[in-house]
Amino acid sequence: MERGALAVGMLGWLALVAVAAYGLIVLAMYLCQRNLVFLTRPEYAKPSAVGFPEAQEHVLDTTDGERIVTWLKPPADAKRPLILMFLGNGDNLGIAAPNLRAMGDDGSGVLAVAYRGYSGSTGAPSEAGLREDAEAAYRLAASLVPPERIVLFGYSLGSGVAVPLAARHPVAALVLFAPFSSAVAIAMQDYPFLPVRLLMKDQFRSIEVIDKVNVPILVLHGEHDQVVPIPFGRELYAAAPEPKRFRSLPEADHFTLFRDGGIGIMRAFLDEFGLR
């Protein structure tokens, strides 16, 4: 009898320890979540120092008091678009410079945004903060060219910035490389043992606003993408209104879309709709 009671007591104690340990894990994940969601790259560089001398640095003031670094290469003429580029999570302007230069080597303009906390921009990132960064960049773009020449481009995390911006403002087109339906959906897949939907602060629910986008949409995804698996891009595409185009690259992963033909696919898409 005493031995049975002891075993029951031990099991109860172990259960309490397990619950407490789980609670600590949940608390730690909640408190540290932005360090996991945003892989900030604060390193600052001038465009000319990383092989993009055609670009000029512009520092923008956001409405909430931050200063955001952007790089601008103006369009070569009045017929070329201005591509407003929102980078991926682990990118910064210096890392992305070769792709940015390649995007503009046909005469298109490029305006690339360093989110707060990245590439010398002040502040710390959050979904609300990135929305303010996007608004500041859009204001600059709209001061340079009419809205019908602004092409929004979102890569990975940047898709979660570009989609709602396109839903709020007039633009010419929306280009998405490796987009997700929502960041919370990816987190739920990666952390199935956590109540992610309740805990996550920055959920980037693109799928809930993409139906408000009324311009041509291109979704490009690599079939070997293990960061944002292609079903997330297909789900977002299915929710998007026409006109829209989906392209998959059979050999590409999350990091090789530009190298494996993404820029050419984007240009063909813009040509199809008379935007280049």
Q: Residues 120, 69: contact at Cβ < 8 Å?
A: yes
Q: Which of 119, 181, 202, 254 is catalytic?
A: 254
Give the number of other Cβ atoms within 10 Å of residue 16's Cβ.
10
Q: Residues 121, 95: contact at Cβ < 8 Å?
A: no
Provide the token pair at 16: 């309490």
How many C-alpha atoms does 60 have within 13 Å on its Cβ side?
Answer: 26
Q: Which of 108, 156, 181, 206 is catalytic?
A: 156
DSSP states of 106-124: TS-EEEEE--TTSTT--S-
113: CB partners within 8 A, 6+ apart? 68, 70, 84, 85, 86, 87, 133, 134, 137
117: CB partners within 8 A, 6+ apart? 38, 40, 42, 123, 124, 125
156 is catalytic: yes
Angle at CA of residue 33, ends 27 and 39, nearest 5°:
155
Check the CA dihedral 206-211-216-218 and report its sign: positive
Quickly count helices (H) and strands (E) in the chain.
8, 8
225 is catalytic: yes
Give the residue numbers marked as catalytic.
Answer: 156, 225, 254
